[in-house]
Amino acid sequence: MDFNSTVKGSLLEGFYPEGWDFEKIDACCSHLPEEIVERQDFWHKDFAPVECADVKEFDVRMGHEIANEIRKANAEKRRIAFILPVGPMGMYKWAVYFLKEWNESCENVWCFNMDEWADAEGNTITGEASFQSAMEQAFYNPLGELTVPKDHRNFAWKDNLPTYPEKIAKLKKDGAKLVLVYGIGRMCHIAFWEPMIGAEFSSDEEWRKQPYRIGVKLHPLTIEQNAITSFKSRTTLVPCRANTIGPKLMFSADYAIGGADGALSRGMQWQGMSLWMTLRYGPTRFVTSSYIPTLPGKLFYLKELAGPLIPEAN
């Protein structure tokens, strides 16, 4: 007795995105933990999952990867642009540490926050709960004199998000490397590009041309994920919509730095299935993160997320 054998006629029938094959999802999750790094034929030759023993190692390695991209760009005297998330967050402390230790300036760094809480019209949240505030407190302010210039910082406001494509295209034309930094949602979204959006398009090619969306509806499980991970379980504080970049921007990156750290206490976790789907499902517009392995880069993950994804006796 399992999900597939009991879902018909239940409250979950039709709840998950069109295009999700739960037999295929179960197969993705049924592998041994050590098999998670086995290369798949759709992976980019320069893509690799990287195991981390714990959150401390995870934060240091992601922070070092971000800082090292800036150091390399400075050494080569070129611009660099980042698409940045608010989550994972521990990486920013270490990115700041390495940049200050190396005395690396961010004057030639451009940053584009990938999303922001919003209402149906795209009006964004303000104050401490905003992604702008989180970025300033975790990354920009602690860098001090080395920080990213204010006019190089972009946030996903409804009047600014539509300028992302032109700004990023110009930076790339001028020789800038575009680096995507990301986490993976419970619903396998990157940024807030939810998998339900795939049903709106007749082909992956058409889907991949979408640059952004204003006031996108968030899946209920995305709301609950954020209630648990960011709002101390208080669902009433979580907005039901957001502004977000789309596939055209995120998958035009020259390099990607990803993280999966979704472990909870007492051996529980929320991100193992999403991680395995990202690595094994195969590229499809119905699973946004399934395109991640087609990019060069590193996906850092906590060892325990590899499983085995089976219940344990307590």
* Predicted confidence (pLDDT) per residue in 42-68, tens digit: 999 999 999 999 999 999 999 999 999
CA atoms within 13 A on the CB side of 241: 16
CB-CB contact of 282 with 290 (8 Å): yes
The interaxial angle of helices 55-75 and 90-102, nearest 10 deg, is 40
Please list the helix, strand and coil fractions of the chain in percent, rounded to the nearest 5, in that order: 40, 20, 40
Could you tell me if residue 37 is inside a domain? no
Alpha-carbon gap, residue 148 to 115, rounded angstroms = 19
Residue 24, exposed/middle/buried by CB under 10 A (0-12, 13-18, 19+)? Answer: middle
- Residue 30 belongs to some domain of the structure: no
Confirm if 215 and 194 have CB atoms less than 8 A apart.
no
Output the six-digit token pair for 9.
């006629």
| Count of C-beta atoms within a 10 Å radius of residue 35 | 13
Q: What is the CATH number of the domain that holds 135?
A: 3.40.50.1360
**Cβ burial, residue 314 (10 Å; 0-12/13-18/19+):** exposed
- Are 136 and 121 contacting, i.e. CB atoms less than 8 angstroms apart? no
d(C-alpha 93, C-alpha 82), whole Å: 16
Number of domains comprising the chain = 1
Is residue 83 in some structural domain?
A: yes
Pair of tokens at residue 224: 């609950």
Backbone dihedral region of 271: left (phi > 0), alpha (psi from -120 to 50 degrees) or beta?
alpha
Mean pLDDT of all residues belonging to the chain: 96
Torsion from C-alpha of 240, 244, 247, 250, nearest 10 degrees: -130
Preceding peptide of 33 cis, ω within 30°: no
How many angstroms separate the Cα of 275 from the Cα of each of 36, 91, 272, 296? 9, 19, 5, 17
pLDDT (mean) for 227-247: 96
Q: Which tens digit of pLDDT belongs to each residue from 101-160?
A: 999 999 999 999 999 999 999 999 888 889 999 999 999 999 999 999 999 999 999 999
- In this prediction, residue 314 carries a pLDDT of 54
Residue 72 inside a domain? The answer is: yes
How sure is the predictor about 313, in pLDDT bands with cuts at 50, 70 and 90? low
Question: What is residue 294's DSSP assignment?
Answer: G
Put simply, whether the predicted model's pTM sits higher than 0.95 gets the answer: yes
* Distance of alpha carbon 69 from alpha carbon 71, whole angstroms: 5
pLDDT > 80? residue 271: yes
Domain hosting residue 133, numbered range: 47-306
DSSP secondary structure letters along 196-229: GGGGG-SSHHHHTT--EEEEEEPPHHHHHHHHHH
Tell me the per-residue pLDDT of 173-225, one tens digit each, with 9 for 90 and over: 999 999 999 999 999 999 999 999 999 999 999 999 999 999 999 999 999 99
Which residues 6+ apart lie within 8 Å of 11 measured at CB?
Answer: none
